Amino acid sequence: MSLAATKTPAKSEAQSRSQAREVRKFLMGMAISAIVALIAWTYLRPLYFSINQSLGRAAVESDQPQYPSSVRKFTYQGKELELYNVPTESGVKQLAMIDKSRSSSVFIDPSNPTQQITWEGSWRSLKRIYEFNPLYSNYPEASKQLDFVHYFRNTLIVSILATLGTVLSGIMVAYGLARYRLPYLPVLMGILQTTLILPREVMIVPTYIIFYKLGWVGTWLPLFLPLFFGNSFAIFLLRQFFLAIPRELDEAAMLDGANPMQILWKIIVPLAGPAIISVAIFQFIFSWNDVFSPVLYLAGKDDLQMISPALNRFSSAYGQANPQLTAAAGMLASMLPVGLFLLAQRPYFRAMMMPGLDK
């Protein structure tokens, strides 16, 4: 009995100490998370602004709140009247304006519309009442004006072809570089690493000349065909992954009479699934978002043009007068890459971890 009595307070003391630690940990977590949330909110503020803009109206009043909104109206005798916050003797009231003038204005109370109220003072000092009222119709409107479906289709086809080329050639070349004792392998790897880090912009003038001579300018060929001849990023990433697959698997299959092609497709590719998905997603998003190549090779070819240059031209034409349509079109163009990323973050992050590719 006495033993139990001495034990209990000791236990609760330890318990309360660990409880205090828990509380401290919780508070620390809350504080740091709050700071990070605040930074993230600031960081993404322009995106929030743009989403609001895409649901807003062409003309934005100076007193308008930042969310998509319109002035609250009161319909009386077939007329739409704007509601104002009007200070009266019995506090601030929401009144509908009938007639405005510099020194006094006439209002009615929506709850008692038959009685007119005259308010002394400049109506400009009064604040209008805004309500949340997003204009979802901006999206179909922007889609129609931009001919979004047409460019979406073009971009989708080119991105899929580019991804296909990158994956197919990447698998083959990476396997060759990972498994075969080729002469000059260090030299080949050096070339691979150099082309990996060198920005493609460096090559744009020389390759343009070649594509021009080949008659490829004004077609989709420059945007995807070179990728069937290897993309250093895909080759490098897949090679790293293939190197980690035990060689014994290849050898066992070889003893069973499989040829190298069969080994590659039946054994290596299934095992390298995650790496291949990383490469595919990365290339797809890269091709989808690309503006440099399509601007260059598809200038003036509206029937073949991709979404980014089309959007850029759309904003030049509509940006000033209709910023809400440009913003909505931008959101439409972003949906596929952002959606893909949200679905497959892990493979995307894996591809991004490659040094020198954070472009």
Partner 1 sequence: MIAEPKKHVSLDVLERRWGWFFISPWLIGLVLFFFGPMIYSFVLSFTDYNVVENTGKFIGLKNWLTIFTDPIVQKSMLVTLRYMLVSVPILLFAPFMLALFLNSKHLWAKGFFLTLFFLPQLLPPVVVGLIWQGTLNTRGPINQFLESLGLPGPSWLTDAWAVIPAMAIIGLWSIGGSILQLIAAMKNVPGELYEAATIDGSTSFTSFWKITVPLTSSVLLFSVITQVIAAFQYFTIPFVLYRGQGGPDDAGLFFMLMLFKEAFQYFNTGKASALAWILFIVCFTVTQALFFISRRYVYYAGEVRE
Residue 59 touches partner 1, criterion: CB under 8 A: no
Q: Segment near partner 1 (CB under 8 A), from 11-19, 98-106, 134-142, 349-357?
A: 349-357
Residue 274 touches partner 1, criterion: CB under 8 A: no
Q: Segment near partner 1 (CB under 8 A), from 14-22, 72-80, 86-94, 295-303?
A: 295-303
CA dihedral 343, 48, 327, 296 (to 10 degrees): -60
Q: Which of 195, 218, 269, 304 binds partner 1 (CB under 8 A)?
A: 195
Given the complex with partner 1, which of 93 and 350 has the nearer CB atom?
350
Helix (H, G, I), strand (E, B) or coil at 32: helix
Which residues, 6+ apart, have CB-to-CB distance to 324 below 8 Å? 53, 54, 55, 56, 57, 58, 135, 138
Subset of residues 236 to 265 that bind partner 1, contact rule: CB under 8 A: 260, 264
Given the complex with partner 1, which of 92 and 352 has the nearer CB atom?
352
**CA–CA distance, 4 with 73 (Å, rounded to integer):** 74
Residue 321 touches partner 1, criterion: CB under 8 A: no
Q: Segment near partner 1 (CB under 8 A), from 77-85, 96-104, 118-126, 187-195?
A: 187-195
Least Å distance, CB 127 to partner 1, is: 17
Comparing CA positions, the residue from 151, 125, 15, 144 lying closest to residue 63 is: 125
Largest interatomic CA distance in the chain: 99
Comparing CA positions, the residue from 146, 96, 201, 185 lying closest to residue 312 is: 146
Give the residue carrying structure tokens 């000791």: 10
Subset of residues 8 to 47 that bind partner 1, contact rule: CB under 8 A: 25, 28-33, 35-37, 39-40, 43-47
Comparing CA positions, the residue from 263, 285, 268 lying closest to residue 347 is: 285
| Total residues interacting with partner 1, rule: CB under 8 A | 93
Given the complex with partner 1, which of 105 and 278 has the nearer CB atom?
278
Least Å distance, CB 165 to partner 1, is: 9
Residue 181 touches partner 1, criterion: CB under 8 A: yes
Subset of residues 127 to 166 that bind partner 1, contact rule: CB under 8 A: none
**CA–CA distance, 222 with 294 (Å, rounded to integer):** 9
**CA–CA distance, 261 with 254 (Å, rounded to integer):** 11
Least Å distance, CB 276 to partner 1, is: 16
Which spans in the chain are helix H? Answer: 2-43, 45-54, 138-146, 148-179, 185-197, 204-214, 221-224, 232-243, 247-255, 260-263, 269-271, 273-289, 292-297, 307-318, 323-343, 345-352
Subset of residues 71 to 110 that bind partner 1, contact rule: CB under 8 A: none
Given the complex with partner 1, which of 47 and 58 has the nearer CB atom?
47
Least Å distance, CB 196 to partner 1, is: 9
Q: Which of 154, 278, 308, 322 binds partner 1 (CB under 8 A)?
A: 308
Residue 194 touches partner 1, criterion: CB under 8 A: yes
Q: Would you give the distance in Å from CA 33 to the centre of its chain?
A: 23
Residue 343 touches partner 1, criterion: CB under 8 A: no
Least Å distance, CB 71 to partner 1, is: 19
Per-position x/- string for 203-242, each x denoting binding to partner 1 as judged by CB under 8 A, each - no binding: xxxxxxxx-x-------------x-xxx----x-------
Query: DSSP per residue over 279-346, as a string?
Result: HHHHHHHHHHH--HHHHHHSTT-TTT--HHHHHHHHHHHHTTT-HHHHHHHHHHHHHHHHHHHHHTHH
Q: Which of 58, 202, 244, 321 binds partner 1 (CB under 8 A)?
A: 202
